Amino acid sequence: MPEGNGVLVVGELSEARLIATTSELLNAGGKLANSLGQPLHAVLLGTNLSNASEEAASLGAGKVFLAEHPLLDEGHVEAHVTALQQVCQQAQPSVLLIARTQLGREVGPRLAFRLGVGLAQDAVGVSVDPDTKKLLVTRPVYGGNALAVVALSCIPQIVTVRPKAFEVAAKDESLRGEVVRVPVEIPTSVVRTRVVERVSGEAAGVKLEEARVVVAGGRGLGGPEPFQELEKLAKLLGGTIGASRPACDAGWIDARSQIGLTGKTITPDLYVAVAISGACQHMAGCSGAKVIVAVNNDPKADIFKEARYGVVGDWRKILPAFTEAVRELVR
């Protein structure tokens, strides 16, 4: 296995600033770098990178590689893969950490195949085997029913990391990284999908991923109307509403509200699950909540295994009384 040197974190930007997940990766990557006795670096792709570059340095990146190219601003997977291939050639990292975001979960696998190396998707834990110095990656499988620990047989070892699986890195404004510009060549022909239209509607109110309180409903609600009840409760608590996949698939609520393995990952302080059974694929998106409260008429429902507080009974009776009591308490 060829050596490589350094843990390289692929940064991702939103409005010229690093997204929180990049900071989480720098934290996890810093610990790995320590165990390996190797440096921690970051790479940023796009244009207008200077602020984000300083930010990455203050979060612990020794070198910040800058791959500047206008095609990289558009979120084209192929352009990012092409650029990262060139960055890897220059930086020769032993480990590459990518956020499993919309972009990263495609860039990671494609880069791995392009480089002919291995990849572990959706890591929630990373460590170094003390004997082999190989990465050990923990990832949920079977919908979250089980955890697998995997090792990767080539360098660089590429890992896409589940957002919110790690704390953000501590910031030290006095840290100055070394900026290394990587001249990347990206022929426009590599981009083979054309974006005809982007339709994005931010839901009104609190953003699901950032909400401190989420009130979510499942198939047991039986239709779209009950979500209005949940909405009332969520508003009182200063939060927003979410849902299980069947509720979204049935069209009772917008698909953007789906929480879980193939929906959003959230870590609110309080998660109220109403008529949700607690399937592992659902819990994959909300088990990081500080406190889970479950309302379900089946005392054996799995949700009670993960909840801190539970009420067994019919939501039709429980929810209005709960909402009313909350209204009085928060007044």
Partner 1 sequence: MKIIVCAKQVLDPETPSSIFKIDRDAKRAVPPPGADPVVNGFDEIAMEAALRIKASVGGSITVVSMGRSFVMDVIKKPLAMGADELILLQDDAFETADSFVTTNVLAAAIRRIGKFDLILCGRQASDWDNAQVPLGLAELLDLPCLTFAKNVELSNGSVRVQRVTPDGHEVLEAVLPALVTVSNELGEPRTPSIKGIMASTRATPTVWGLGDLGVDPSSCARVELVELFIPAREKRCEMIEGEDDTDAGRKLALKLREAKLI
Ligand X SMILES: Cc1cc2nc3c(=O)[nH]c(=O)nc-3n(C[C@H](O)[C@H](O)[C@H](O)COP(=O)(O)OP(=O)(O)OC[C@H]3O[C@@H](n4cnc5c(N)ncnc54)[C@H](O)[C@@H]3O)c2cc1C
Neighbours of 323 (CB within 10 A): 18
Residue from 149, 171, 183, 224 touching partner 1 (CB under 8 A): that is 149
β-sheet bridge partners, residue 99: 161
CA dist., res. 324 & res. 68, Å (int): 55
Residue from 113, 133, 172, 224 touching partner 1 (CB under 8 A): that is 113
CA dist., res. 155 & res. 11, Å (int): 20
Binding range to partner 1, per CB under 8 A, among 2-10, 43-51, 217-225, 302-310? 302-310
Place of tokens 């990012």: 80
Residue from 7, 96, 214, 261 touching ligand X (CB under 6 A): that is 261
Q: Does 228 bind partner 1 (CB under 8 A)?
A: no
Return the number of the residue (21 or 277) whose C-beta is nearest ligand X: 277
Is 176 exposed, middle or buried, given 0-12, 13-18 or 19+ CB atoms closer than 10 A?
exposed
Q: Does 167 bind partner 1 (CB under 8 A)?
A: no
Is 65 exposed, middle or buried, given 0-12, 13-18 or 19+ CB atoms closer than 10 A?
buried
Please state the φ and ψ torsions of residue 154, each to the nearest 5 degrees: -130, 165
What is the crossing angle of helices 77-91 and 104-115, to 10°? 50
Question: By CB under 8 A, what part of segment 239-278 binds partner 1?
Answer: 245, 248-249, 255-256, 261-262, 264, 269-270
Neighbours of 54 (CB within 10 A): 16
Q: Does 258 bind ligand X (CB under 6 A)?
A: yes
Q: Does 296 bind ligand X (CB under 6 A)?
A: yes
Which of partner 1, ligand X, none interacts with 275 (beta carbon under 5 to 8 A by kind)?
A: ligand X
Residue from 5, 35, 86, 281 touching ligand X (CB under 6 A): that is 281
Candidates 95, 92, 81; CA nearest to 36 is 95
Residue from 282, 292, 293, 307 touching ligand X (CB under 6 A): that is 282
Instruction: Write down the least CB distance from residue 156 to partner 1, Å.
Output: 12
Return the number of the residue (287 or 297) whose C-beta is nearest ligand X: 297
Q: Does 275 bind ligand X (CB under 6 A)?
A: yes
* 110: enclosing H helix or E strand: helix 104-115
Q: Does 97 bind partner 1 (CB under 8 A)?
A: no
Which residues lie closer than 8 Å to 206 by C-beta, 6 or more apart? 238, 239, 240
Neighbours of 157 (CB within 10 A): 26
Q: Does 226 bind ligand X (CB under 6 A)?
A: no
Question: By CB under 8 A, what part of segment 188-207 binds partner 1?
Answer: 192-203
Place of tokens 């069209």: 251
> Which amino acid does the sequence have at 248?
C
Gyration radius of the chain's alpha carbons: 22
Instruction: Write down the least CB distance from residue 249 to ligand X, Å.
Output: 9
Q: Does 245 bind ligand X (CB under 6 A)?
A: yes
Q: Does 301 bind ligand X (CB under 6 A)?
A: yes
Q: Does 60 bind ligand X (CB under 6 A)?
A: no
Which of partner 1, ligand X, none interacts with 325 (beta carbon under 5 to 8 A by kind)?
A: partner 1
Residue 48, SS3 per DSSP = coil
Neighbours of 190 (CB within 10 A): 16
Which of ligand X, partner 1, none interacts with 1 (beta carbon under 5 to 8 A by kind)?
A: none
Query: How many positions of this chain bind ligand X (CB under 6 A)?
Result: 29
Copy the structure tokens of residue 23: 């900071």
Residue from 121, 240, 244, 267 touching partner 1 (CB under 8 A): that is 121
Return the number of the residue (41 or 245) whose C-beta is nearest partner 1: 245
Q: By the criterion CB under 6 A, which residues form the site for ligand X?
A: 143, 218-220, 244-247, 258-263, 275-277, 279, 281-282, 285, 295-298, 301, 314-316
